[in-house]
């Protein structure tokens, strides 16, 4: 009876502790959306001077002149989207193919070894990618690949102009290498989530292994694959150091992959400490607001694709 009485006395304390822990966890979880809103609000307020001076024309303006304080974001927005598109075109098919190999074809030892290498790519610092690009990739592009592309495909606008080495192509190639692990890991997880019984049913009906992959595995995993691709896009949009080292840093719009360019992240990193006026600083902050909005939209879209079917929002 004494033990029962002691347990009854302890029960309110445990309930109070559970309630306190619950509220503490809710408070900690609320920090994440509050931080996101805080960052967005600070960028919005910090860019007020630029928004008053240029309005929506800031997005389409092509002049970036700190001396006369006339600023436009279009060259940097174009460079960000162009390099991200190049990275996506290269990384998405390769990443899905590697995921198919690891999920459906590779022996267990090869799967563990190759999977470890893919994961290693995700932890390499971006400045190392940029250094490798400057030392190895840029000379090869300037001396070999870009002249070859210009000779054989020079009738296309993408492959016209002098071979600088640095430019959209170099930045896009390194970005593709950097976002490849995201595509592979998300696609691999989505394929592994497809029930084995579905694969066995397809094989029992006489389908080949590739037909099972094409008609059963890939359709069932398309949401996870699409979400992984969008997460890779979000990673590519905000990459700074490697792109800054390789893109050439020229605020111009060009349809050629060989041309130097600029991105939103690169211009902020290069010029924020040099901003000498309030309007100059506000224009750079507005570039940050644009980049923040782009990454937020992309990540929300990836979340929608990764959400299980029928799940509540």
Q: Is residue 30 part of a domain?
A: no
Q: Find the Cα–Cα–Cα–Cα dihedral 244, 248, 249, 252, rounded to 10°.
A: -140
Asked whether residue 12 is assigned to any structural domain, the reply reads no
The residue-averaged pLDDT of 27-51 equals: 88
The answer to whether residue 19 sits within a structural domain is no
Total number of domains constituting the chain: 1
User: What is the pLDDT at residue 13?
Assistant: 54
Backbone angles phi and psi of 65, in degrees to 5:
-130, 95
CATH number, domain of 191, equals 1.10.3720.10
C-alpha distances in angstroms, 258 versus 80, 86, 125, 127, 266?
15, 12, 25, 22, 18
Domain assignment present for 18: no
Determine, yes or no, domain membership for 125: yes
At residue 146, φ and ψ (nearest 5 deg) are: -65, -40
Burial of 269 (0-12, 13-18, 19+ CB in 10 A): middle
Longest dimension (CA), the chain: 94
Angle between helices 168-192 and 108-123 (to 10 degrees): 130
Q: Name the percent of the chain lying above pLDDT 70.
A: 91
Residue 240 lies in a domain: yes
Q: Is residue 32 part of a domain?
A: no
Q: What is the pLDDT of residues 210-255, one digit of tens each?
A: 888 888 999 988 888 988 898 889 889 988 899 999 999 999 899 9
Whether residue 10 is predicted with pLDDT greater than 70 in this model: the reply is no
Q: Identify whether 47 is part of a domain.
A: no
Residue-range definition of the domain harbouring residue 123:
52-306
């Amino acid at each position: 009876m004494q033990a029962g009485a002691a347990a009854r006395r302890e029960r309110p304390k445990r309930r109070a502790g559970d309630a306190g822990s619950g509220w503490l966890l809710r408070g900690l979880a609320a920090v994440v959306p509050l931080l996101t809103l805080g960052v967005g609000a600070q960028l919005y307020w910090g860019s007020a001077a630029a928004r008053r001076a240029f309005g929506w024309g800031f997005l389409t303006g092509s002049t970036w002149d700190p001396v006369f304080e006339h600023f436009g974001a279009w060259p940097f927005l174009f460079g960000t989207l162009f390099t991200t598109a190049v990275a996506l075109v290269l990384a998405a098919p390769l990443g899905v193919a590697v995921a198919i190999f690891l999920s459906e074809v590779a022996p267990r030892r090869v799967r563990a070894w190759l999977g470890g290498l893919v994961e290693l790519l995700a932890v390499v610092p971006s400045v190392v990618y940029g250094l490798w690009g400057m030392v190895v990739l840029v000379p090869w592009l300037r001396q070999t690949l870009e002249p070859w592309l210009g000779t054989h495909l020079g009738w296309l606008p993408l492959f016209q102009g002098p071979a600088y080495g640095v430019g959209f192509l170099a930045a896009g190639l390194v970005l593709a290498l950097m976002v490849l692990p995201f595509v592979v890991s998300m696609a691999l997880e989505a394929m592994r989530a497809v029930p084995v019984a579905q694969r066995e049913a397809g094989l029992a009906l006489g389908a080949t292994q590739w037909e099972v992959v094409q008609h059963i595995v890939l359709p069932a995993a398309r949401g996870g694959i699409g979400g992984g691709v969008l997460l890779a896009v979000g990673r590519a949009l905000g990459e700074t150091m490697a792109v800054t080292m390789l893109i050439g840093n020229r605020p111009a719009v060009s349809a050629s992959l060989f041309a130097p360019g600029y991105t939103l992240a690169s211009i902020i990193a290069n010029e924020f400490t040099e901003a000498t006026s309030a309007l100059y600083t506000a224009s750079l902050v507005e570039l940050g607001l644009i980049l923040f909005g782009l990454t937020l939209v992309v990540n929300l879209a990836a979340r929608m694709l990764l959400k299980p079917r029928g799940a509540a929002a």
